[in-house]
Amino acid sequence: MYWTLELASKLEDAPWPATKEELIDYATRSGAWAEVIENLEELEDDGEIYESIEDIWPDYPSKDDFFWNEEEY
């Protein structure tokens, strides 16, 4: 399973929280690329409820990662 920002962005408007099946259904109905659906299918299916994309891809960058912070430099 591999995620990129472009692939993960297809799930930003998903109905969070959601199960694996709900996310696959959403991705299919919204016309997401096959790679998104394949990644979701590779998730271990133990009935887990995913609260956000960070539950699926822990390294998903937050909006803060994209903004310049003068205090850091």
Residue 37 within any structural domain of the chain? yes
Query: Is the pLDDT confidence value at 51 over 90?
Result: yes
pLDDT given for residue 73 in this prediction: 58
Pick from 42, 2, 1, 5: nearest CA to 20 = 42
pLDDT given for residue 16 in this prediction: 95
pLDDT in tens, 14-49: 999 999 999 999 999 999 999 999 999 999 877 899
Provide the 3-class DSSP secondary structure of residue 44.
coil
The count of other CB atoms within 10 Å of the CB of residue 8 is 18
Query: Which single residue is written with the structure tokens 């990662």?
Result: 65
Residue 61 within any structural domain of the chain? no
Give φ, ψ of 18 to 5 degrees. Answer: -155, 155
Give φ, ψ of 50 to 5 degrees. Answer: -95, 125
Number of domains composing the chain: 1
Range of the structural domain that residue 41 is part of: 12-55
pTM check: above 0.85? no
Residue 16 within any structural domain of the chain? yes
Residue 39 within any structural domain of the chain? yes
